[in-house]
Amino acid sequence: MSIFIDKDTRLVVQGITGRDGSFHAKQMIEYGTQVVAGVTPGKGGQTFEGSVPIFNTVAEAVQEAGANTSVIYVPPAFAADAMFEAADAGIEFIVCITEGVPVLDMTRVRPYVQEKGARLLGPNCPGLLSAGKSKVGIIPGHITQPGPVGLVSKSGTLTYEVVYKLKAAGIGTTTCVGIGGDPINGTSFIDCLAAFEADPETKAIVMLGEIGGTDEQEAAAYVRENVTKPVVGFIAGQTAPPGRRMGHAGAIISGSAGTAEEKITAFRENGIGVAQRPVDVVDLIREAL
């Protein structure tokens, strides 16, 4: 098993003819993902790499090619509409890789997607990879192998670092999910923890967080109440200098400065093992298994 994507995932790539879209579409096909369609307005009727049909709209990709999942590689100015379009077309799972989407756009996209009954991952995220089955996004395929660990992270490259170290130690993953670090995104730590808890093949969970906000603290409280599987955590930004903060609203609304120290304490108090270095995740996971 795995979470969110597997061998039955039928993917449409929004922005398949762009630099990033075309490069990563090839990488996903090589990994074994069923890429059933691409979308680039104005290029409908062409094919990508001689085999993947390109459509003008996501609606056609759903009707003609049976796509149920989409991945978005379009520039920030068009990302919000790409997410609205995927939701309107009946896509069940939307993964937005695009970095730099205005946060006010996301305040509109998120409730819209939810009301359509779809799940959104991202934006500004690396996507996800169910080892040996399917990958959607940009996580390099060769850095992990099938195994018992579920991983959820705010940061793309830090995810790669940790799964790469786990693989070097002979430990594989069920699914690695990068949720992205933007203030408003579709899928949270808690959504992934719940899915990993329900997945029988996942035996232990790694959670990689970073400074800012209170997502990690809330996830830690959730772990205590709802997760029976062992959880190991790491927080990046322990040495980051405090910014020159402007205004009072941030501190008023969260009652928290979002420091690494606060998050590490929340992890420890809720029974989550804390790695001091990324490589220390390996030992903690080995003990947990």
Which range, of 36-44, 110-118, 196-204, 219-227, touches other proteins by CB under 8 A? 110-118
* Closest to other proteins by CB, 1 or 268: 268
Q: Is 263 in the site for other proteins (CB under 8 A)?
A: no
Q: Is 21 in the site for other proteins (CB under 8 A)?
A: no
Q: Is 257 in the site for other proteins (CB under 8 A)?
A: no
Tokens of 148: 């018992």
Task: Provide, rounded to whole angstroms, the least separation between the CB of residue 86 and other proteins.
Answer: 18
Among 85, 191, 210, 216, binds other proteins (CB under 8 A): 210
Residue 205 contacts residue 196 (beta carbons within 8 Å): yes
Three-state SS at 112: helix
Q: Is 236 in the site for other proteins (CB under 8 A)?
A: yes
Which range, of 9-17, 47-55, 224-232, 234-242, touches other proteins by CB under 8 A? 234-242
**238-245 long-range CB contacts below 8 Å, 24 or more apart?**
238/264, 240/211
Distance CA 93, CA 98 (A): 16
Tokens of 93: 């799972």
- Letters for 118-157 (x = contact with other proteins by CB under 8 A, - = none) are --------x-----------xxx--x---------xxxxx
Scan for tokens 């006010």, then name that residue. Answer: 104
Q: Is 226 in the site for other proteins (CB under 8 A)?
A: no
Which range, of 28-36, 86-94, 95-103, 225-233, touches other proteins by CB under 8 A? 95-103
* Closest to other proteins by CB, 32 or 111: 111
By annotation, the residues acting in catalysis are 248
- Residue 274's beta-bridge partner residues? 233
Among 169, 198, 240, 289, binds other proteins (CB under 8 A): 240
Instruction: Please state, as a whole number, how many other Cβ atoms lie within 10 Å of the Cβ of residue 166.
Output: 25
Q: Is 184 in the site for other proteins (CB under 8 A)?
A: yes
For 289, the enclosing helix (H) or strand (E) is: none
Q: What is the DSSP letter of 143?
A: G
Among 215, 263, 266, 272, binds other proteins (CB under 8 A): 215
C-alpha pair distances (Å), 240 with each of 22, 62, 115, 194, 258: 36, 45, 38, 30, 12
C-alpha pair distances (Å), 175 with each of 15, 129, 234: 25, 5, 18
Q: Is 276 in the site for other proteins (CB under 8 A)?
A: yes
